[in-house]
Amino acid sequence: MMRIITGSAKGKKLVSLEGDATRPTSERIKEAVFSSIQFDVEGRRVLDLFAGSGQMGLEALSRGAAKATFIDLSREAMDIVKQNAKATGFFDVSHFLVSDWRNYIRKASGREQYDLVFIDPPYAMECCADAAAYLAKTELIIPGAIVVLESGEEEISLDDPRLAGYRVIKSTHYGKKTFVNILFYEGGEAAE
- Residue boundaries of the structural domains of the chain: 2-17+26-185
What class does CATH assign to 2-17+26-185?
A: alpha beta
Q: Phi then psi for 28, rounded to 5 degrees?
A: -60, -45
User: What's residue 191's pLDDT?
Assistant: 45
Instruction: Please tell me the total number of residues recorded for the chain in this structure.
Output: 192
Q: Would the pTM count as exceeding 0.85?
A: yes
Per-residue pLDDT of the chain (192 residues; tens, 9 = 90+): 799 999 999 999 999 988 665 677 888 889 999 999 999 999 999 999 999 999 999 999 999 999 999 999 999 999 999 999 999 999 999 999 999 999 999 999 999 999 999 999 988 888 999 999 999 999 999 999 999 999 988 888 888 898 999 999 999 988 778 899 999 999 865 444
Half-sphere exposure of 186 (CA within 13 A, CB side): 9
Name residue 98's beta-bridge partners. Answer: 72
User: What's residue 67's pLDDT?
Assistant: 98
